[in-house]
Structure 1
Amino acid sequence: MSYHLLALLLIPLIGSGLLFAFKGKAGKYIAFGTALIQMLLTFIVLYSFDSKPTVDSVLQHEINEAWFLSIKSKLHFGIDGMGMLMLMLTNILTPLIILSSFNEKNSYRNSFYALILLMQFGLVGVFTALDGLLFYIFWEVTLIPIWLIAGLWGQENKRFEFTTKFFVYTFVGSLFMLAGFIYVYNYSASFALTDMYNADLNLTQQTVVFWFIFFAFAVKLPVFPFHTWQPDTYTFSPTQGTMLLAGIMLKMAVYGILRYLLPVTPDAIAGISGAIVIMLAIIGVLHGALIALIQNDSKRILAYSSFSHVGLMLAGIFASAMLVTKGTFTTEGGTGALVQAFAHGINVVALFYCADILYKRFKTRDIRQMGGLARVAPKFAVLFLIVVLGSVGLPLTNGFIGEFILLKSIFDFSVMAAIISGITIILAAAYLFRFYGKAMFTTGDEAVLASVKDLSDVEFAVLTSLAGMVILFGVYPQPIIEMVSSSLKFIYQSMVN
């Protein structure tokens, strides 16, 4: 048994329990300390992690104990390159998300932080579970805390109306995924990941299973046309809730597609189902970018931007998957999607935090009522610009290499799809630079600007950390690419074995 992985699972759960019981005023420091310990342990695991294992031995730090023997479901956890990358994203961003809330004055503070740690527990479970039933349970564990965070601490009177829509969408999608897993279980006699991969399903059965499981992931990403819950939920959730949703939670679906959907339903993907998904992804890429271009609400710009970016990840994954099923072995789509998922998590958390900083200065999310902030807040202007450049994929920033690999994988599948996807990069630059320009350089209200201060210590610490990662993983992305390489070879090879 891996005690390192066991600790990664238990630390946020124990911290959450303590905060629910704790009545003092130091809850935020307990939460931050717990998240820092979790981050430190993640780096310890990373230090001992073999980033270049053989394809047949990609799993490390395994836990494999008896659980529901009657249905052959085990407490089976492990870490491969994909899981390690997602653990890094989760456990690096969580303390920064907690730290970003230190200047807030919300009520029920201990419960707020307890829910964040409970969600972190669920996320770690999702990214390490190697049993279908276990994966589903942790998938559901993440839903409750984010729904409560968004509903109880949202910014509008009708916040529960919008967050309940999110809850219903994702819960129903999860039930479809469970139904798909149970169907596969009937042909594999086990929820073990390898047994599910080897289930003997014909094309019709795989197609049914594909759409059942894909629906859950499509809602979570979200994919067009299952995205209608996203703009309002992102807009009306507290900033930390939006960070968790956009920065980490939607990556569960990217991970789930690669881990469960591709190897279980390769024949369905080779046919019309895969082509439909790529079409929906490309529509979403263009649709999200065009709507972001005409938005004036800062959080809605970022919500639709996120919707557009995840569409590109999805298109890349399925482009490579379809090429593999047709005899051309490639892992580029999966590599680009995971690298971009990691970069997008960092960038979108930073962007939503910048939007929150702007809201605190101008008391509005309407970018038309902002302006002139670069003159009175130069530190913020520089850090905000670094994040924007990363989000538009400027070379030597973290957003570049993932987008480049994704476009290459889509180009190999379809030149037209790659051209349409490439246009959205231009649109992304247009709407993000419009956002940045209006906030930083247009003529602002002098009365407002006279009272505006530059970044506080907390804001500077959070944004500097995020901007530093934008540059670090842009200049040196190779360790991430190497980390996920063996896992993706195993995933894509499982499709044709």
Structure 2
Amino acid sequence: MSYLLLTLLLLPLVGSGLVFAWKNASSKYLALGIALIQMLLTFYILSDFNFEPTVDSVLQYEINYPWSQFIKSNLHFGIDGMSLLLLLLTNILSPLIILSSFNENVNYKNSFYGLILLMQFGLIGVFTALDGLLFYIFWEVTLIPIWFIAALWGQENKRMEFTTKFFVYTFVGSLFMLAGLIYVYIHSASFALTDLYNADLGETQQIVVFWFIFFAFAVKLPVFPFHTWQPDTYTYSPTQGSMLLSGIMLKMAIYGVIRYLLPITPSAIFGISGQIVIILAIVGIVHGALIAIIQVDMKRIIAYSSFSHVGLMVAGIFSSAVLTLRGTFTIEGAEGALVQTFAHGINVVGLFYCADILYKRFKSRDIRQMGGLAKVAPKFAVLFLLIILGSMGVPLTNGFIGEFILIKSIFDFNVLASIIAGLTIILCAVYLLRFYGKTMFGEGDATVLSTAKDLSAAEFSVLASIVVFVILLGIFPQPIMDMVGSSLRLVYASMIN
């Protein structure tokens, strides 16, 4: 069945080439069709996936061909539960992101949609690569299309300045990761993931490798204090660029931390390095939330909200890792992080699209210049509210169970840390309800409201699809935990072997 994974990997690459060559307005429909085929193929793999694998068959749909014997690297791909979850997120959000642009007058449509499909190709490669060098290559591939999308279709004159800052941050981080992976490779048999896990590294060597690789992930997530590129890049990117960055691209780093960093450098995590990361993550939780409260630009509110939520995921992952290395085997933090990764991806894409809809009605990103839209756009008001509730982690929405598990995991590590991290629940409610109240209620500009319309068919389709996942995963979160459980147990077990 490896041909299914090969198709999943190559279809967006081939589709991207076709869309680039498609020199007319219908290129958006071609791109949407390819993205929908990808989504259906992923659901087929989901339906055929064995969720109770043995230790020897956790990987499914595996592809493994020699690539370079000189550097001992293979074209090695495969899917386990963790990969499958992120493939689902990527291939569910990609068609929604494409559809979200249908009401916009996009210049150079074929290039815009071709770059989105190229981005999808890179993301799928990252989430399925089982070779360290291959992982790095696909990691870099994703940087190319998102840079062009943000720089060429971004908003206002500052987009190039901030997009360049984003590129420099992430590219430098990637070089540190490459240096770290090469160092591990020198002390192992090959770039194969299992060989990297078994590299002969002492404690000091692991600490150095840890910080080299973690720097790349910390920038991409981002983790405090490597976050300064994020608010500006999210703000000045086009809506679809912000969706790709926040909804999917930052999830590469969550995946990379679990798949690569934890098993390769357990001694570093057991020592002071793991605790430093937890402290930085918790500082980011509070720092991001407090700054979000005072923002008036919609996209900056969402950007700082994302920064705060990611801090909670990182703290949970490392809390479980430290506890496991201390002798209390637990995957709770990583499990909660992956559940929250999926929920956050869905919710943040919904929030950015709601911000785009508001911008089109009010011609401003300043929430102080809005108000009263609920009176003339009731469908939008209801769907927007449900996405807000999911982002706040209200029970029976998709954001609740992951947040609960993460705080529980941090509590097991340190009570005080969990109390501080738990502030995210209160602070998140403050800035998101403020955001919703300022835009939906009050008097508002009568002239603007007199011409404002409720959702178009495309807008309703995107938001309604997102709300389905907000509710469905809030009521039935167990399938995600079942999906990732076996993979996480093997990853965490490999730290102590």
> Does TM, scored on the shorter chain, surpass 0.5?
yes
The 8 Å contact of residues 51 and 81 in structure 1, kept in 2 or not, is answered as yes
In the TM superposition, residue 317 of structure 1 has moved relative to its aligned partner by 0.2
In the TM superposition, residue 22 of structure 1 has moved relative to its aligned partner by 1.6
In the TM superposition, residue 490 of structure 1 has moved relative to its aligned partner by 0.3
Can you list the C-alpha shifts for 1:121-173, whole angstroms capped at 9, x where unaligned? 00000000000000000000000100000000001112110000000000000
In the TM superposition, residue 19 of structure 1 has moved relative to its aligned partner by 1.3
The 8 Å contact of residues 97 and 243 in structure 1, kept in 2 or not, is answered as yes
Matches within 5 A, 1:231-242: 231-242=231-242
> What's the RMSD between the two structures over aligned residues?
0.6
Matches within 5 A, 1:155-174: 155-174=155-174
In structure 2, how many angstroms separate the alpha carbons of the residues matched to 1:69 and 1:240? 40
Query: Is 2:454 aligned against 1:458?
Result: no
In the TM superposition, residue 56 of structure 1 has moved relative to its aligned partner by 3.7
Per the alignment, in what secondary structure is the counterpart of residue 62 of structure 1?
strand
In structure 2, how many angstroms separate the alpha carbons of the residues matched to 1:55 and 1:211? 30
In the TM superposition, residue 415 of structure 1 has moved relative to its aligned partner by 0.3
Q: Residue in 1 aligned with 2:433?
A: 433
In structure 2, how many angstroms separate the alpha carbons of the residues matched to 1:55 and 1:357? 47
Q: Residue in 1 aligned with 2:320?
A: 320
In the TM superposition, residue 442 of structure 1 has moved relative to its aligned partner by 1.7
Per the alignment, in what secondary structure is the counterpart of residue 190 of structure 1?
coil
In structure 1, how many angstroms separate the alpha carbons of the residues matched to 2:438 and 2:158? 29
Q: Residue in 1 aligned with 2:31?
A: 31
Can you list the C-alpha shifts for 1:49-84, whole angstroms capped at 9, x where unaligned? 112212342100100011011111000000000000
Q: Residue in 1 aligned with 2:63?
A: 63
Q: Residue in 2 aligned with 1:128?
A: 128
Amino acid at match of 2:131: D
In structure 2, how many angstroms separate the alpha carbons of the residues matched to 1:53 and 1:238? 42
Per the alignment, in what secondary structure is the counterpart of residue 63 of structure 1?
strand
Q: Residue in 2 aligned with 1:196?
A: 196
In structure 2, how many angstroms separate the alpha carbons of the residues matched to 1:45 and 1:234? 32
In structure 2, how many angstroms separate the alpha carbons of the residues matched to 1:469 and 1:424? 22
User: Any gaps of 5 or more consecutive residues in structure 1?
Assistant: none
Can you list the C-alpha shifts for 1:263-308, whole angstroms capped at 9, x where unaligned? 0000000000001000000000000000000000000000000000
Q: Residue in 1 aligned with 2:348?
A: 348
Amino acid at match of 1:463: L
In the TM superposition, residue 109 of structure 1 has moved relative to its aligned partner by 0.7
Q: Residue in 2 aligned with 1:268?
A: 268
In the TM superposition, residue 351 of structure 1 has moved relative to its aligned partner by 0.3
Q: Residue in 2 aligned with 1:2?
A: 2
Per the alignment, in what secondary structure is the counterpart of residue 187 of structure 2?
helix
Query: Is 2:330 aligned against 1:330?
Result: yes
Can you list the C-alpha shifts for 1:69-107, whole angstroms capped at 9, x where unaligned? 111100000000000000000000000000000011021
The 8 Å contact of residues 55 and 487 in structure 1, kept in 2 or not, is answered as no
Q: Residue in 1 aligned with 2:218?
A: 218
Figure out how many residues of one structure are paired with residues of the other and give that number. Answer: 497
In structure 2, how many angstroms separate the alpha carbons of the residues matched to 1:447 and 1:286? 39
In structure 2, how many angstroms separate the alpha carbons of the residues matched to 1:56 and 1:281? 35
Q: Residue in 1 aligned with 2:382?
A: 382
In structure 2, how many angstroms separate the alpha carbons of the residues matched to 1:482 and 1:53? 11
In structure 2, how many angstroms separate the alpha carbons of the residues matched to 1:414 and 1:57? 36
Matches within 5 A, 1:398-417: 398-417=398-417
Q: Residue in 2 aligned with 1:119?
A: 119
Amino acid at match of 2:58: V
In the TM superposition, residue 117 of structure 1 has moved relative to its aligned partner by 0.2
In structure 2, how many angstroms separate the alpha carbons of the residues matched to 1:49 and 1:146? 31
Identity across matched positions, percent? 76
In structure 2, how many angstroms separate the alpha carbons of the residues matched to 1:452 and 1:195? 59
Q: Residue in 1 aligned with 2:252?
A: 252
The 8 Å contact of residues 56 and 490 in structure 1, kept in 2 or not, is answered as no
Per the alignment, in what secondary structure is the counterpart of residue 70 of structure 2?
helix
In structure 2, how many angstroms separate the alpha carbons of the residues matched to 1:20 and 1:332? 44
Q: Residue in 2 aligned with 1:447?
A: 447
In structure 2, how many angstroms separate the alpha carbons of the residues matched to 1:219 and 1:442? 39
Q: Residue in 2 aligned with 1:139?
A: 139
In structure 2, how many angstroms separate the alpha carbons of the residues matched to 1:135 and 1:81? 18
In structure 1, how many angstroms separate the alpha carbons of the residues matched to 2:51 and 2:177? 31
Moved more, 462-471 or 14-23: 14-23
In structure 2, how many angstroms separate the alpha carbons of the residues matched to 1:483 and 1:102? 33
In structure 1, how many angstroms separate the alpha carbons of the residues matched to 2:73 and 2:22? 35
In structure 2, how many angstroms separate the alpha carbons of the residues matched to 1:116 and 1:41? 18
Can you list the C-alpha shifts for 1:446-490, whole angstroms capped at 9, x where unaligned? 111000000000000000000111000100011100000000000
Amino acid at match of 1:309: H
In structure 1, how many angstroms separate the alpha carbons of the residues matched to 2:54 and 2:444? 58
Query: Is 2:77 aligned against 1:84?
Result: no
Can you list the C-alpha shifts for 1:3-47, whole angstroms capped at 9, x where unaligned? 000000010000101111221221000000000000010011111
The 8 Å contact of residues 55 and 489 in structure 1, kept in 2 or not, is answered as no
In structure 2, how many angstroms separate the alpha carbons of the residues matched to 1:201 and 1:112? 44
Q: Residue in 2 aligned with 1:41?
A: 41
Per the alignment, in what secondary structure is the counterpart of residue 364 of structure 1?
coil
The 8 Å contact of residues 397 and 474 in structure 1, kept in 2 or not, is answered as yes
The 8 Å contact of residues 222 and 307 in structure 1, kept in 2 or not, is answered as yes
Can you list the C-alpha shifts for 1:397-438, whole angstroms capped at 9, x where unaligned? 000000000000000000001000111110000000000001
Amino acid at match of 1:254: I
Q: Residue in 1 aligned with 2:177?
A: 177
Amino acid at match of 2:75: L
User: Any gaps of 5 or more consecutive residues in structure 2?
Assistant: none
In structure 2, how many angstroms separate the alpha carbons of the residues matched to 1:238 and 1:54? 44
Per the alignment, in what secondary structure is the counterpart of residue 77 of structure 1?
strand
Moved more, 339-348 or 22-31: 22-31
In structure 1, how many angstroms separate the alpha carbons of the residues matched to 2:413 and 2:39? 38
Can you list the C-alpha shifts for 1:215-250, whole angstroms capped at 9, x where unaligned? 000000000000000000000000000000000000
